[in-house]
Amino acid sequence: MESLMQILFIPALLLVVVVAFFVIKWLYYDLTIGQWLDLWKEKKDKKISLKLMIFLIILGIFINFILPKL
């Protein structure tokens, strides 16, 4: 069972990153990738994006490690 969790860790992590990207993109409406990168450079010091990233990291840890043991 541990090896299965190790195999699925990277795809689950990539899924969390993709979901985070689309949530941020949805929050800032429909932006192109270039506009999104410019916006990210301008707003990367904002606390709301830091809170969102911390939430997604905790969610990924919960999905990968805690949920399979329940």
**Is the whole model's pTM more than 0.85, yes or no?**
no
**In Å, how far from its chain's centre is CA 36?**
15
The gap between the terminal CA atoms of the chain, to the nearest Å, is 13
Please write the tens of the pLDDT for every residue from 10-34: 788 888 888 887 777 666 655 566 6
Provide the 3-class DSSP secondary structure of residue 32: coil
pLDDT band at residue 57 under the 50/70/90 scheme? confident
pLDDT band at residue 45 under the 50/70/90 scheme? low
Give CA separation, 3 vs 6, 8, 9, 69, in Å: 5, 9, 10, 14
